Amino acid sequence: MIRLDDITYIRLGTPDLALAEDFATRVLGLEVTERTAKSLYLRSDARAHTLCYVAGDPADQTAAFEVADAAELEAAAASLEALGHRVSAGTAGGAAERKVKDFIAFDDPSGNRIELVLKPEYRGPRYVGARDAAITGFNHIGLNSTDPVRDEIFWTRVCNARVSDRIGDIPLMRINAIHHTLALVRAAGPGIQHINHQVAERGDVLRNYHLLRRNNVPIVFGPGRHPTSGANFIYFRGPDGMVFEYSCGVDEIKDEASHRPRSFSFEPASLCMWGARPGGLIKGA
């Protein structure tokens, strides 16, 4: 069993680093920690970076999870290889680029690029956003899945994810007490479906909503509230079509042993209890 402790960072290719930086700072409210000729590092919490834009193809999208130690990383590589996944070991240069001690990379069954990392770098000074978006940290992602049933088995049996709730065939999965760190959403191909940052208060979601509207940022879904996790949310589109989310008030699952996942029917009210429509975010809803 591959034990994922936390979600660490997202790496996104982009043809326009300047545009990505403008959005990530002026709109999203992240803090730039480093710029190189080919990459832009952004943070949203105590870690040195939680989002990295790399000059290149926007189809190159990677999600990274932290594992506890070198033994876990080695065991993970072995079990993935035994299942037929091609695992590439990280180089020292690659690890430095990712601000981690070591890492391995592989594709999940849908073809999503996943990295498992050791000891991501933290920074002493606290995160100070480029604007007052009230972000408290990078929290979770939605991941495209060409077969959510198959991929749920991968994430829950090969890895340590547990299903917290389901909406139709979308499993919302946790790897710690937070209701979900990973949601699988049916799609034609691999990719990151959305990137979530938590904000401090429920009101901050609405304050950000009005700011996004004023800046003509395309609103994809919300403002709304998920009946599953209880979180207030707003989804909006950034550079290269990537969807970002602010949310607040995600439930924690405190009693791991007694929690049973609930199944919500696949309809708009299961995605938003206020009446917002998911629009193009989720096919068929």
Residues forming the site for another protein (CB under 8 A):
202-203, 206-207, 209-211, 214, 223-225, 232, 273-276
Nearest-5° Cα angle at 57, 111 to 102? 60
CA distances in angstroms from 38 to 32, 34, 48, 151, listed in the order given: 14, 11, 18, 33
Cβ at position 185, least distance to another protein in Å: 23
Cβ at position 274, least distance to another protein in Å: 4
Please identify, using beta-carbon distances, which residue of 50 and 247 lies nearer to another protein.
247
Number of neighbouring beta carbons within 10 Å of residue 70: 12
Cβ at position 200, least distance to another protein in Å: 13
> Residue type at 54?
V
Please identify, using beta-carbon distances, which residue of 122 and 274 lies nearer to another protein.
274
Q: Which two tokens stand for residue 39?
A: 């990459």
Please identify, using beta-carbon distances, which residue of 155 and 209 lies nearer to another protein.
209
Cβ at position 211, least distance to another protein in Å: 6
- Smallest CA-to-CA distance from 42 within 14, 3, 70 is with 14
- Smallest CA-to-CA distance from 223 within 208, 234, 214 is with 234
Please identify, using beta-carbon distances, which residue of 214 and 254 lies nearer to another protein.
214
- Smallest CA-to-CA distance from 224 within 276, 269, 172 is with 276
Cβ at position 197, least distance to another protein in Å: 18
Cβ at position 188, least distance to another protein in Å: 30
Please identify, using beta-carbon distances, which residue of 13 and 218 lies nearer to another protein.
218
Please identify, using beta-carbon distances, which residue of 130 and 273 lies nearer to another protein.
273
Q: Counting every residue, how long is the chain?
A: 285
